[in-house]
Structure 1
Amino acid sequence: MPSVMSMRKPSTKFSLQGPPGLPYVAASSPDQTPGVPLSCCSRNWSNALLGRSPMATSEDLEKKTSATSAPSLLRRLYLRVLAEAETSRGPAVLAAVAFTESSFFPIPPDPLLIALGIGAPRRAIPLAILTTVMSVLGGLLGYAIGAWMMDTVGDSIIALFGAQATFEEVKGGFLAYGFLSVVTAALTPIPYKIFTIAAGAAGLPLAIFIPASIIGRGTRFIAEGILVWRYGEPIRDFIDRWFAALTIAAVILGVLGVALLQI
Protein backbone atom coordinates (compact mmCIF):
# COMPACT_ATOMS: atom_id res chain seq x y z
CA MET A 1 0.00 0.00 0.00
CA PRO A 2 1.54 3.33 -1.00
CA SER A 3 2.18 5.89 1.67
CA VAL A 4 0.39 9.22 1.67
CA MET A 5 3.50 11.03 0.48
CA SER A 6 4.08 8.54 -2.38
CA MET A 7 0.52 8.64 -3.60
CA ARG A 8 0.23 7.70 -7.25
CA LYS A 9 -1.01 10.26 -9.73
CA PRO A 10 -4.67 10.14 -10.67
CA SER A 11 -5.34 8.18 -13.83
CA THR A 12 -7.76 10.78 -15.13
CA LYS A 13 -7.36 14.47 -15.72
CA PHE A 14 -9.25 16.60 -13.31
CA SER A 15 -12.24 18.43 -14.67
CA LEU A 16 -11.88 21.08 -11.95
CA GLN A 17 -15.34 20.25 -10.69
CA GLY A 18 -15.58 19.78 -6.95
CA PRO A 19 -18.45 19.81 -4.50
CA PRO A 20 -20.79 22.74 -4.84
CA GLY A 21 -21.00 25.68 -2.59
CA LEU A 22 -17.94 27.84 -2.86
CA PRO A 23 -19.78 30.71 -1.24
CA TYR A 24 -18.57 33.66 -3.24
CA VAL A 25 -20.07 35.61 -6.09
CA ALA A 26 -18.51 34.65 -9.40
CA ALA A 27 -16.66 37.38 -11.23
CA SER A 28 -18.71 39.16 -13.87
CA SER A 29 -15.55 39.68 -15.92
CA PRO A 30 -12.21 37.84 -16.00
CA ASP A 31 -10.54 40.67 -14.13
CA GLN A 32 -13.05 41.02 -11.31
CA THR A 33 -12.25 39.26 -8.06
CA PRO A 34 -15.18 37.42 -6.45
CA GLY A 35 -15.97 38.24 -2.88
CA VAL A 36 -19.42 38.24 -1.31
CA PRO A 37 -21.21 35.13 0.01
CA LEU A 38 -23.51 33.78 -2.69
CA SER A 39 -25.68 30.99 -1.31
CA CYS A 40 -25.45 27.85 0.74
CA CYS A 41 -26.51 25.51 -2.03
CA SER A 42 -25.09 26.75 -5.34
CA ARG A 43 -24.37 24.10 -7.97
CA ASN A 44 -21.29 23.59 -10.10
CA TRP A 45 -19.43 26.03 -7.89
CA SER A 46 -16.12 25.68 -9.64
CA ASN A 47 -17.74 26.53 -12.97
CA ALA A 48 -19.23 29.70 -11.51
CA LEU A 49 -15.97 30.62 -9.82
CA LEU A 50 -13.86 30.08 -12.89
CA GLY A 51 -16.32 31.50 -15.38
CA ARG A 52 -16.43 28.49 -17.71
CA SER A 53 -18.83 26.07 -19.31
CA PRO A 54 -19.48 22.85 -17.35
CA MET A 55 -18.16 20.92 -20.38
CA ALA A 56 -14.87 22.82 -20.60
CA THR A 57 -11.69 20.86 -19.94
CA SER A 58 -8.88 21.88 -17.65
CA GLU A 59 -6.74 22.54 -20.75
CA ASP A 60 -9.37 24.94 -22.11
CA LEU A 61 -9.46 26.70 -18.76
CA GLU A 62 -5.70 27.03 -18.60
CA LYS A 63 -5.62 28.51 -22.10
CA LYS A 64 -8.33 30.97 -21.15
CA THR A 65 -6.50 31.91 -17.98
CA SER A 66 -3.15 32.37 -19.72
CA ALA A 67 -4.79 34.49 -22.40
CA THR A 68 -6.19 36.88 -19.80
CA SER A 69 -4.03 39.93 -19.22
CA ALA A 70 -4.86 40.09 -15.50
CA PRO A 71 -6.53 36.86 -14.35
CA SER A 72 -8.32 37.03 -11.04
CA LEU A 73 -6.30 36.09 -7.99
CA LEU A 74 -8.99 33.69 -6.86
CA ARG A 75 -8.93 31.82 -10.16
CA ARG A 76 -5.17 31.48 -10.05
CA LEU A 77 -5.28 30.31 -6.43
CA TYR A 78 -7.83 27.65 -7.30
CA LEU A 79 -5.74 26.31 -10.18
CA ARG A 80 -2.60 26.34 -8.05
CA VAL A 81 -4.27 24.47 -5.19
CA LEU A 82 -5.85 21.81 -7.40
CA ALA A 83 -2.58 21.25 -9.27
CA GLU A 84 -1.06 20.01 -5.99
CA ALA A 85 -3.20 16.87 -6.28
CA GLU A 86 -0.66 15.58 -8.80
CA THR A 87 2.36 16.14 -6.56
CA SER A 88 3.76 14.51 -3.43
CA ARG A 89 2.93 17.70 -1.55
CA GLY A 90 -0.80 17.11 -1.98
CA PRO A 91 -1.64 15.95 1.57
CA ALA A 92 0.43 18.75 3.15
CA VAL A 93 -1.22 21.36 0.95
CA LEU A 94 -4.62 19.86 1.78
CA ALA A 95 -3.90 20.24 5.49
CA ALA A 96 -2.77 23.85 5.00
CA VAL A 97 -5.82 24.75 2.91
CA ALA A 98 -8.20 23.12 5.40
CA PHE A 99 -6.61 25.05 8.27
CA THR A 100 -6.51 28.48 6.64
CA GLU A 101 -9.92 28.25 4.92
CA SER A 102 -11.59 28.25 8.33
CA SER A 103 -10.24 31.71 9.12
CA PHE A 104 -9.22 33.67 6.01
CA PHE A 105 -8.28 31.63 2.89
CA PRO A 106 -10.94 31.82 0.12
CA ILE A 107 -10.52 28.34 -1.44
CA PRO A 108 -12.26 25.41 0.34
CA PRO A 109 -10.41 22.10 0.74
CA ASP A 110 -13.16 19.96 -0.85
CA PRO A 111 -11.87 19.92 -4.47
CA LEU A 112 -8.33 18.98 -3.43
CA LEU A 113 -9.65 16.34 -1.01
CA ILE A 114 -11.74 14.77 -3.78
CA ALA A 115 -8.91 14.91 -6.33
CA LEU A 116 -6.46 13.25 -3.93
CA GLY A 117 -9.06 10.67 -2.94
CA ILE A 118 -9.78 9.73 -6.55
CA GLY A 119 -6.05 9.35 -7.15
CA ALA A 120 -5.72 6.96 -4.18
CA PRO A 121 -9.18 5.75 -3.03
CA ARG A 122 -7.78 3.82 -0.05
CA ARG A 123 -6.48 7.11 1.33
CA ALA A 124 -9.75 9.00 0.82
CA ILE A 125 -11.10 8.50 4.35
CA PRO A 126 -7.77 9.17 6.16
CA LEU A 127 -7.42 12.32 4.07
CA ALA A 128 -10.97 13.31 5.02
CA ILE A 129 -10.09 12.87 8.70
CA LEU A 130 -6.95 14.97 8.21
CA THR A 131 -9.07 17.66 6.54
CA THR A 132 -11.54 17.61 9.43
CA VAL A 133 -8.86 17.93 12.11
CA MET A 134 -7.07 20.78 10.36
CA SER A 135 -10.33 22.59 9.59
CA VAL A 136 -11.42 22.45 13.24
CA LEU A 137 -8.00 23.73 14.36
CA GLY A 138 -8.23 26.50 11.78
CA GLY A 139 -11.66 27.33 13.14
CA LEU A 140 -10.04 27.96 16.52
CA LEU A 141 -7.76 30.48 14.83
CA GLY A 142 -10.82 32.19 13.38
CA TYR A 143 -12.43 32.14 16.83
CA ALA A 144 -9.31 33.72 18.35
CA ILE A 145 -9.32 36.44 15.70
CA GLY A 146 -12.92 37.29 16.55
CA ALA A 147 -12.35 37.17 20.30
CA TRP A 148 -9.07 39.06 20.63
CA MET A 149 -8.09 40.57 17.27
CA MET A 150 -11.38 41.82 15.85
CA ASP A 151 -10.31 45.44 15.54
CA THR A 152 -6.85 44.74 14.14
CA VAL A 153 -7.42 41.63 11.97
CA GLY A 154 -11.03 40.46 12.04
CA ASP A 155 -12.59 43.58 10.55
CA SER A 156 -10.09 43.49 7.68
CA ILE A 157 -10.93 39.87 6.84
CA ILE A 158 -14.68 40.52 6.90
CA ALA A 159 -14.22 43.63 4.74
CA LEU A 160 -12.03 41.69 2.30
CA PHE A 161 -14.94 39.36 1.59
CA GLY A 162 -17.49 42.19 1.61
CA ALA A 163 -19.49 40.42 4.32
CA GLN A 164 -19.99 43.11 6.96
CA ALA A 165 -23.79 42.86 6.93
CA THR A 166 -23.72 39.06 6.94
CA PHE A 167 -21.24 39.09 9.82
CA GLU A 168 -23.56 41.18 12.01
CA GLU A 169 -26.50 38.89 11.22
CA VAL A 170 -24.43 35.83 12.11
CA LYS A 171 -23.40 37.35 15.45
CA GLY A 172 -27.06 37.93 16.27
CA GLY A 173 -27.94 34.37 15.32
CA PHE A 174 -25.51 32.96 17.87
CA LEU A 175 -27.60 34.44 20.69
CA ALA A 176 -30.50 32.12 19.84
CA TYR A 177 -28.95 29.22 17.90
CA GLY A 178 -25.30 29.02 18.94
CA PHE A 179 -24.66 25.28 18.58
CA LEU A 180 -26.96 24.83 15.60
CA SER A 181 -25.44 27.86 13.85
CA VAL A 182 -21.94 26.40 14.05
CA VAL A 183 -23.04 22.93 12.90
CA THR A 184 -24.96 24.44 9.99
CA ALA A 185 -22.02 26.56 8.88
CA ALA A 186 -19.52 23.72 9.30
CA LEU A 187 -21.64 21.23 7.36
CA THR A 188 -22.89 23.38 4.52
CA PRO A 189 -21.10 25.58 1.96
CA ILE A 190 -21.85 28.74 3.95
CA PRO A 191 -18.54 30.64 4.43
CA TYR A 192 -17.24 28.99 7.57
CA LYS A 193 -14.69 31.71 8.28
CA ILE A 194 -17.50 34.23 8.79
CA PHE A 195 -18.99 31.98 11.48
CA THR A 196 -15.72 31.18 13.25
CA ILE A 197 -14.78 34.84 13.56
CA ALA A 198 -18.33 35.76 14.55
CA ALA A 199 -18.37 33.02 17.19
CA GLY A 200 -15.29 34.52 18.83
CA ALA A 201 -16.63 38.06 18.56
CA ALA A 202 -19.96 36.99 20.09
CA GLY A 203 -18.25 35.16 22.95
CA LEU A 204 -19.74 31.76 22.10
CA PRO A 205 -18.35 29.29 24.68
CA LEU A 206 -15.62 27.00 23.34
CA ALA A 207 -17.49 24.10 24.96
CA ILE A 208 -20.19 24.69 22.34
CA PHE A 209 -18.01 25.86 19.45
CA ILE A 210 -15.53 22.96 19.36
CA PRO A 211 -18.02 20.02 19.46
CA ALA A 212 -20.25 21.74 16.90
CA SER A 213 -17.26 22.28 14.60
CA ILE A 214 -16.19 18.64 14.89
CA ILE A 215 -19.70 17.38 14.12
CA GLY A 216 -20.28 19.72 11.19
CA ARG A 217 -16.86 19.56 9.57
CA GLY A 218 -16.48 15.84 10.20
CA THR A 219 -19.85 15.01 8.70
CA ARG A 220 -19.12 17.04 5.59
CA PHE A 221 -15.58 15.91 4.82
CA ILE A 222 -15.85 12.29 5.93
CA ALA A 223 -19.03 11.88 3.88
CA GLU A 224 -17.10 13.10 0.85
CA GLY A 225 -14.24 10.75 1.68
CA ILE A 226 -16.55 7.74 1.99
CA LEU A 227 -18.24 8.52 -1.32
CA VAL A 228 -14.90 8.85 -3.11
CA TRP A 229 -13.53 5.68 -1.48
CA ARG A 230 -16.62 3.69 -2.44
CA TYR A 231 -17.30 4.99 -5.95
CA GLY A 232 -14.14 6.73 -7.18
CA GLU A 233 -14.20 8.99 -10.23
CA PRO A 234 -17.92 8.42 -11.12
CA ILE A 235 -19.02 10.04 -7.85
CA ARG A 236 -17.46 13.40 -8.77
CA ASP A 237 -20.49 14.60 -10.75
CA PHE A 238 -22.91 13.44 -8.03
CA ILE A 239 -21.03 15.42 -5.37
CA ASP A 240 -20.88 18.43 -7.67
CA ARG A 241 -24.62 18.39 -8.34
CA TRP A 242 -26.25 17.10 -5.17
CA PHE A 243 -23.97 17.18 -2.11
CA ALA A 244 -24.84 20.72 -1.03
CA ALA A 245 -28.57 20.17 -1.56
CA LEU A 246 -28.47 17.00 0.54
CA THR A 247 -26.58 18.68 3.38
CA ILE A 248 -28.99 21.60 3.38
CA ALA A 249 -31.92 19.15 3.49
CA ALA A 250 -30.30 17.36 6.44
CA VAL A 251 -29.88 20.63 8.31
CA ILE A 252 -33.51 21.62 7.65
CA LEU A 253 -34.72 18.25 8.93
CA GLY A 254 -32.56 18.69 12.02
CA VAL A 255 -34.01 22.12 12.71
CA LEU A 256 -37.55 20.80 12.29
CA GLY A 257 -36.77 17.94 14.65
CA VAL A 258 -35.49 20.30 17.33
CA ALA A 259 -38.56 22.51 16.88
CA LEU A 260 -40.91 19.53 17.28
CA LEU A 261 -39.16 18.46 20.47
CA GLN A 262 -39.72 21.93 21.94
CA ILE A 263 -43.47 21.94 21.24
Structure 2
Amino acid sequence: MSPIKRFWSRQIRVHRYFKITGGYKFVGENLLRLLLFLIAFGVVAWLINEYVFSFSDFSNQLTSQYSPVAVVAWLFVSEVIIGLLPPEAFILWAESFEHSWAMLLILATVSYLGGVISFLIGQRMDKFTRIHAWLHNKLHDQISQIKRFGGLLIAIAALTPLPYPLFSMIAGLSGVKLGLFLRVALIRYVRFVIYALVLWKAIA
Protein backbone atom coordinates (compact mmCIF):
# COMPACT_ATOMS: atom_id res chain seq x y z
CA MET A 1 0.00 0.00 0.00
CA SER A 2 1.32 3.44 -0.95
CA PRO A 3 2.05 6.05 1.78
CA ILE A 4 -0.92 8.14 0.62
CA LYS A 5 -3.32 5.19 0.82
CA ARG A 6 -1.97 4.25 4.26
CA PHE A 7 -2.48 7.83 5.40
CA TRP A 8 -6.10 7.99 4.21
CA SER A 9 -6.82 4.51 5.57
CA ARG A 10 -5.62 5.64 8.99
CA GLN A 11 -7.71 8.82 8.80
CA ILE A 12 -10.82 6.77 8.01
CA ARG A 13 -10.16 4.49 11.01
CA VAL A 14 -9.63 7.50 13.28
CA HIS A 15 -12.82 9.12 11.96
CA ARG A 16 -14.85 5.97 12.67
CA TYR A 17 -13.34 5.62 16.14
CA PHE A 18 -14.17 9.19 17.18
CA LYS A 19 -17.64 8.89 15.66
CA ILE A 20 -18.34 5.76 17.73
CA THR A 21 -16.77 7.03 20.97
CA GLY A 22 -18.36 10.47 20.80
CA GLY A 23 -15.11 12.28 20.11
CA TYR A 24 -16.69 14.80 17.75
CA LYS A 25 -19.46 15.59 20.22
CA PHE A 26 -16.81 16.07 22.91
CA VAL A 27 -14.90 18.53 20.71
CA GLY A 28 -18.06 20.40 19.72
CA GLU A 29 -19.19 20.85 23.32
CA ASN A 30 -15.78 22.13 24.41
CA LEU A 31 -15.45 24.51 21.47
CA LEU A 32 -18.87 25.94 22.35
CA ARG A 33 -17.69 26.42 25.94
CA LEU A 34 -14.57 28.13 24.60
CA LEU A 35 -16.66 30.52 22.49
CA LEU A 36 -18.91 31.42 25.42
CA PHE A 37 -15.89 31.84 27.69
CA LEU A 38 -14.17 34.15 25.21
CA ILE A 39 -17.27 36.32 24.87
CA ALA A 40 -17.75 36.53 28.65
CA PHE A 41 -14.05 37.09 29.30
CA GLY A 42 -13.84 39.81 26.67
CA VAL A 43 -16.85 41.63 28.12
CA VAL A 44 -15.49 41.38 31.68
CA ALA A 45 -12.05 42.59 30.57
CA TRP A 46 -13.63 45.58 28.81
CA LEU A 47 -15.74 46.48 31.86
CA ILE A 48 -12.77 46.23 34.21
CA ASN A 49 -10.59 48.27 31.87
CA GLU A 50 -13.26 50.96 31.50
CA TYR A 51 -14.56 51.27 35.04
CA VAL A 52 -12.14 49.68 37.53
CA PHE A 53 -8.53 50.13 36.43
CA SER A 54 -6.49 50.38 33.25
CA PHE A 55 -4.79 47.19 32.15
CA SER A 56 -2.22 49.30 30.31
CA ASP A 57 -1.28 51.10 33.53
CA PHE A 58 -1.10 47.76 35.34
CA SER A 59 1.14 46.28 32.63
CA ASN A 60 3.42 49.31 32.65
CA GLN A 61 3.70 49.15 36.43
CA LEU A 62 4.50 45.44 36.27
CA THR A 63 7.18 46.05 33.65
CA SER A 64 8.72 48.88 35.69
CA GLN A 65 8.99 46.68 38.80
CA TYR A 66 10.07 43.39 37.22
CA SER A 67 12.19 42.57 34.20
CA PRO A 68 10.47 40.88 31.23
CA VAL A 69 12.69 37.84 31.84
CA ALA A 70 11.31 37.50 35.38
CA VAL A 71 7.69 37.75 34.21
CA VAL A 72 8.27 35.19 31.44
CA ALA A 73 9.93 32.91 34.01
CA TRP A 74 6.79 33.13 36.17
CA LEU A 75 4.73 31.88 33.24
CA PHE A 76 7.13 29.00 32.64
CA VAL A 77 7.03 27.88 36.26
CA SER A 78 3.23 28.21 36.28
CA GLU A 79 2.89 26.13 33.11
CA VAL A 80 5.00 23.37 34.64
CA ILE A 81 3.30 23.40 38.06
CA ILE A 82 -0.33 22.80 37.06
CA GLY A 83 -1.14 26.31 35.84
CA LEU A 84 -0.89 28.41 38.99
CA LEU A 85 -1.22 31.68 37.05
CA PRO A 86 -3.72 32.34 34.23
CA PRO A 87 -2.03 32.80 30.81
CA GLU A 88 -4.58 35.55 30.07
CA ALA A 89 -2.79 37.86 32.52
CA PHE A 90 0.46 37.42 30.60
CA ILE A 91 -1.31 37.93 27.27
CA LEU A 92 -2.64 41.26 28.56
CA TRP A 93 0.85 42.17 29.75
CA ALA A 94 2.34 41.41 26.31
CA GLU A 95 0.11 44.07 24.75
CA SER A 96 2.10 46.81 26.51
CA PHE A 97 5.23 46.07 24.46
CA GLU A 98 6.12 47.86 21.25
CA HIS A 99 6.49 44.49 19.51
CA SER A 100 3.55 42.87 21.26
CA TRP A 101 3.18 39.99 18.80
CA ALA A 102 6.83 39.05 19.24
CA MET A 103 6.35 38.95 23.01
CA LEU A 104 3.18 36.91 22.53
CA LEU A 105 5.17 34.39 20.47
CA ILE A 106 7.72 34.14 23.27
CA LEU A 107 4.95 33.58 25.85
CA ALA A 108 3.27 30.93 23.69
CA THR A 109 6.59 29.13 23.23
CA VAL A 110 7.29 29.22 26.96
CA SER A 111 3.79 27.86 27.65
CA TYR A 112 4.26 25.11 25.06
CA LEU A 113 7.62 24.10 26.53
CA GLY A 114 6.12 24.15 30.03
CA GLY A 115 3.57 21.61 28.83
CA VAL A 116 6.35 19.45 27.38
CA ILE A 117 8.16 19.49 30.74
CA SER A 118 4.90 18.54 32.50
CA PHE A 119 4.48 15.67 30.01
CA LEU A 120 8.00 14.40 30.70
CA ILE A 121 7.41 14.67 34.45
CA GLY A 122 4.28 12.54 34.01
CA GLN A 123 6.27 9.96 32.04
CA ARG A 124 8.93 9.85 34.73
CA MET A 125 6.50 9.57 37.65
CA ASP A 126 4.74 6.68 35.94
CA LYS A 127 7.89 4.58 36.33
CA PHE A 128 7.64 4.57 40.13
CA THR A 129 5.24 1.86 41.27
CA ARG A 130 3.77 3.60 44.32
CA ILE A 131 3.42 6.96 42.58
CA HIS A 132 1.93 5.21 39.54
CA ALA A 133 -0.74 3.50 41.67
CA TRP A 134 -1.58 6.67 43.62
CA LEU A 135 -1.83 8.93 40.57
CA HIS A 136 -3.82 6.43 38.53
CA ASN A 137 -6.26 6.19 41.44
CA LYS A 138 -6.54 9.97 41.97
CA LEU A 139 -6.68 10.85 38.26
CA HIS A 140 -8.62 7.82 37.06
CA ASP A 141 -11.32 9.78 35.21
CA GLN A 142 -8.86 12.10 33.45
CA ILE A 143 -6.57 9.21 32.47
CA SER A 144 -9.59 7.33 31.09
CA GLN A 145 -10.51 10.39 29.02
CA ILE A 146 -6.98 10.67 27.63
CA LYS A 147 -7.00 6.99 26.67
CA ARG A 148 -10.43 7.39 25.09
CA PHE A 149 -9.88 10.59 23.13
CA GLY A 150 -6.08 10.79 22.91
CA GLY A 151 -4.90 13.76 20.91
CA LEU A 152 -8.35 15.34 20.90
CA LEU A 153 -8.28 15.91 24.66
CA ILE A 154 -4.72 17.25 24.51
CA ALA A 155 -5.80 19.70 21.80
CA ILE A 156 -8.85 20.79 23.82
CA ALA A 157 -6.70 21.32 26.93
CA ALA A 158 -4.19 23.35 24.91
CA LEU A 159 -6.93 25.52 23.39
CA THR A 160 -9.51 25.97 26.15
CA PRO A 161 -9.45 27.00 29.85
CA LEU A 162 -8.89 23.35 30.86
CA PRO A 163 -5.65 23.08 32.92
CA TYR A 164 -3.12 22.48 30.13
CA PRO A 165 -0.17 21.60 32.44
CA LEU A 166 -2.26 19.04 34.34
CA PHE A 167 -3.50 17.33 31.18
CA SER A 168 0.04 17.42 29.77
CA MET A 169 1.25 15.53 32.82
CA ILE A 170 -1.68 13.10 32.57
CA ALA A 171 -0.82 12.49 28.91
CA GLY A 172 2.66 11.47 30.02
CA LEU A 173 1.19 9.21 32.71
CA SER A 174 -1.18 7.61 30.20
CA GLY A 175 1.48 6.43 27.79
CA VAL A 176 0.78 8.97 25.03
CA LYS A 177 3.72 9.04 22.62
CA LEU A 178 5.94 12.10 22.90
CA GLY A 179 5.85 12.73 19.15
CA LEU A 180 2.04 12.86 19.15
CA PHE A 181 2.01 15.19 22.14
CA LEU A 182 4.58 17.55 20.58
CA ARG A 183 2.50 17.84 17.40
CA VAL A 184 -0.92 18.23 19.00
CA ALA A 185 0.26 20.65 21.71
CA LEU A 186 1.29 23.13 18.99
CA ILE A 187 -2.34 24.26 19.10
CA ARG A 188 -1.26 26.13 22.25
CA TYR A 189 0.02 28.83 19.89
CA VAL A 190 -3.47 29.14 18.39
CA ARG A 191 -4.90 29.66 21.87
CA PHE A 192 -2.54 32.56 22.58
CA VAL A 193 -3.37 34.24 19.26
CA ILE A 194 -7.14 33.87 19.73
CA TYR A 195 -7.05 35.20 23.29
CA ALA A 196 -4.80 38.09 22.26
CA LEU A 197 -7.20 39.11 19.49
CA VAL A 198 -10.12 39.09 21.93
CA LEU A 199 -8.42 40.68 24.95
CA TRP A 200 -6.40 43.31 23.12
CA LYS A 201 -9.51 44.37 21.23
CA ALA A 202 -11.46 44.56 24.51
CA ILE A 203 -8.97 46.91 26.16
CA ALA A 204 -8.11 48.98 23.08
Task: Give TM-score, length-normalised by structure 1.
Answer: 0.49
* Aligned position for 1:91: 68
Which protein is bigger by CA-based radius of gyration?
A: 2
* Aligned position for 2:11: none
Q: What are the superposed Cα offsets for residues 199-256 of structure 1, whole Å, 9 maximum, x if unpaired? A: 11001101110111112x1011122334566x4723xxxxxxxxxxxxxxxxxxxxxx
Output the CA distance in 1 between the equivalents of 2:61 and 2:173. Answer: 34
Output the CA distance in 2 between the equivalents of 1:228 and 1:136. Answer: 20
Aligned CA distance change for structure 1 residues 220 and 96 (closer, same or farther; 3 Å): same
Aligned counterpart in structure 2 of residue 224 of structure 1, from 172, 195, 199: 195
Counterparts of 1:22-171 in structure 2, within 5 Å, are 43=40, 57=52, 85-87=62-64, 89-104=66-81, 105-117=83-95, 119-120=96-97, 122-149=98-125, 167-171=139-143
* Aligned position for 1:206: 178
Aligned CA distance change for structure 1 residues 193 and 83 (closer, same or farther; 3 Å): farther
Output the CA distance in 2 between the equivalents of 1:180 and 1:90. Answer: 37
Query: How far apart are residue 93 of structure 1 and its match?
Result: 3.4
Aligned CA distance change for structure 1 residues 151 and 108 (closer, same or farther; 3 Å): farther
Query: How far apart are residue 88 of structure 1 and its match?
Result: 6.7
Q: What are the superposed Cα offsets for residues 111-135 of structure 1, whole Å, 9 maximum, x if unpaired? A: 1221330x23x42211111111111
Query: How far apart are residue 193 of structure 1 and its match?
Result: 1.8
Output the CA distance in 2 between the equivalents of 1:136 and 1:90. Answer: 21
Output the CA distance in 2 between the equivalents of 1:209 and 1:131. Answer: 19
SS at match of 1:87: helix
Output the CA distance in 1 between the equivalents of 2:78 and 2:61. Answer: 16
Query: How far apart are residue 147 of structure 1 and its match?
Result: 1.0
SS at match of 2:101: helix
Query: How far apart are residue 94 of structure 1 and its match?
Result: 3.8
SS at match of 2:77: helix
Query: How far apart are residue 56 of structure 1 and its match?
Result: 7.3
Output the CA distance in 1 between the equivalents of 2:60 and 2:166. Answer: 27
Question: Where in structure 1 are there 5+ consecutive unaligned residues?
Answer: 1-38, 48-52, 60-80, 235-263
Q: Number of residues paired by the alignment?
A: 156
- Identity %, equivalent residues: 21
Output the CA distance in 1 between the equivalents of 2:163 and 2:75. Answer: 13
* Aligned position for 1:36: none
Output the CA distance in 1 between the equivalents of 2:202 and 2:63. Answer: 16
Contact kept? 1:145, 1:197, Cα under 8 Å: yes
**AA aligned opposite 2:90:** L
* Aligned position for 1:50: none
Query: How far apart are residue 103 of structure 1 and its match?
Result: 2.3
Contact kept? 1:144, 1:200, Cα under 8 Å: yes
Flag the structure with higher helix content.
2
Contact kept? 1:124, 1:226, Cα under 8 Å: no
Contact kept? 1:124, 1:225, Cα under 8 Å: no
Computed over aligned residues only, the root mean square deviation of the Cα atoms, in angstroms, reads: 3.7
Q: What are the superposed Cα offsets for residues 76-128 of structure 1, whole Å, 9 maximum, x if unpaired? A: xxxxx9786332745323422332222214112221221330x23x4221111
